[in-house]
Amino acid sequence: MKTSSETESQKKIKDKGDSSMTLQDILTGLCSLTLSEEEVSSVLAILMEKNPLALADQNRELKEKREEMTCMGDQQVAMERELGLKCKELQNLQMKFIQMRESLESQLTILQLENTILKEAVHHHVGPDGEQTPVKEDVPAPAAHEDSAYHV
């Protein structure tokens, strides 16, 4: 069921050549045209004469949308800044991790070298004459001597 405004918008408009056009034909024609600023201003002036409140409402809605877009743009810029800061923070943490890993690897190398030196020192004994003599590893502990005087 069509409303009265839809019916009115479908009314035929007669141009100078007595051919009739619907509002839809006019809108389709306008959409397909490339208009200069002057031509757009002329169309807006005609529409403003016909219904100034409708255009004022459209203007207000456009301003609200622009404000929303500006606000969203500001939020996006803020989020991009925050993301940039987080990326820098992450890069700093990665650098610290790499430095700590390199430091630990260096310390491990030093400890492994010291361990090798200590193992060699345990396995070889340097005598008073400065010569190395191997240490006997499986030397049994001396047995406890029992005094025969106490045995019966």
How many Cβ atoms are within 10 Å of 21's Cβ, its own excluded? Answer: 13
Do residues 13 and 20 lie in contact, with contact meaning Cβ atoms separated by under 8 Å? yes
pLDDT, tens digit (0-9, with 9 covering 90-100), for 114-149:
999 999 988 886 656 666 665 555 555 555 555 555
pLDDT(62) > 90: no
pLDDT, tens digit (0-9, with 9 covering 90-100), for 11-58:
544 444 445 778 788 888 888 888 899 988 888 888 888 887 877 787
Which structure tokens are listed for 127? Answer: 């005598």
Do residues 123 and 135 lie in contact, with contact meaning Cβ atoms separated by under 8 Å? yes
The mean predicted confidence, pLDDT, of the chain is 78
For tokens 């990326």, the residue is 87
For tokens 């949308």, the residue is 65
Which pTM does this prediction carry?
0.40
In this prediction, residue 54 carries a pLDDT of 73
pLDDT, tens digit (0-9, with 9 covering 90-100), for 97-108:
999 999 999 999
Hey, where are the domains in the chain? 20-50
